[in-house]
Amino acid sequence: MRASPLATLLAIAASLAATSALAQAPAAPAQVAIPQQIACLGEEPFWRLDASRTTGSLQRLGGKSRQVVELRGELMAISFLTPKALVWRGDSTRLPSETVVATLREEACSSTMKDGPPQAWRAILSTRPGEAITGCCSVKNGYDTTKAPLAAFAAKAEGDWSRNFPAYAGAIARCVNDSGVAVREVAKAWKVDRNLVAVRMVANDGKAWNCAVDTTSKARPQSTSVAVTEPPLVGAGAPVFYPARDTPPLVTCGRLERIAGPRGRTEGWLHYDRC
């Protein structure tokens, strides 16, 4: 039976409307890398500052040993300047109270004590009135983890293990916190049976571990190392989950999604398409 001309026109119009809607759908905003970590070293006198966007550690000589001051602060970029400039300002977390301000400028900076290629940034550090000492720095960029889009679990593909993340979240947290493994990331979680959840973890040293959690028991999770000869786990690493830490993950490529708890607090991140 032939379709009427009107039906044909309506079908064509519907197809064109759908195509137009897809064309006009707003694209997901690109994730832009921003300064995330700095590592600065001065030699005359010696000092070293390692800092993220929120925390830092300052080392310097004190008597016959090195003193270490732990800091909480903020890394700020001054985007309109050329060359680029950054400021890291932080306060000591313990008494005696101390404020550290490091101003970084993007310019070649060479060591005064040894040969080697120059660093890309120069720093001026001040910790007290009347003091200004210099050093050289490296700066690492990464996605702004606070602005990563929220993970939409229900919209994920069937083969994506994180689709069921809410059901696995408790077991993952127990494995990360109580397994005895220094966990860098989680590659996958899956249900073994009605009460048992398995979690594939990757430690800070790169070694893989399997963790098993009985969701009906408060017993400590059971962890076993994964042999290098074991076949790859289907679906592992697509995505990986980074647990929330004081220092967020440094991600420079792929797609990052934030996982928020019931009160909006960040519980970690999902990372797709890693470099």
Domain boundary among 125, 143, 161: 143
Same-domain check for residues 152 and 255? yes
Same-domain check for residues 120 and 156? no
Pairing outcome for strands 85-92 and 99-109: antiparallel
Domain that holds residue 55: 33-143
Same-domain check for residues 50 and 128? yes
Same-domain check for residues 137 and 239? no
Same-domain check for residues 150 and 139? no
Q: What is the CA radius of gyration of the chain?
A: 25
Longest dimension (CA), the chain: 97
Percent of all residues in the chain with a pLDDT value above 70, rounded to a whole number: 89
The per-residue pLDDT of the chain, averaged, comes to 89
Q: List, for residues 164-222, the tens digit of each pLDDT value.
A: 999 999 999 999 999 999 999 999 999 999 999 999 999 999 999 999 999 999 999 99
Same-domain check for residues 44 and 70? yes
pLDDT (0 to 100) of residue 246: 83
2 located within any domain: no
Whether the Cβ atoms of residue 197 and residue 190 lie closer than 8 Å to each other: yes
Nearest in space to 191 (alpha carbons), one of 219, 220, 169: 169
Which pair of tokens denotes residue 226? 């994964």
| Full-model pTM | 0.79
pLDDT band at 29 (very low <50, low <70, confident <90, very high): low
pLDDT (0 to 100) of residue 64: 66
pLDDT (0 to 100) of residue 117: 94
Q: Which residues contact 216 (CB under 8 A, 6 or more apart)?
A: 195
Q: Is the pLDDT of residue 82 over 70?
A: yes
Q: List, for residues 227-249, the tens digit of each pLDDT value.
A: 999 999 999 999 999 999 988 99
Domain count along the chain = 2
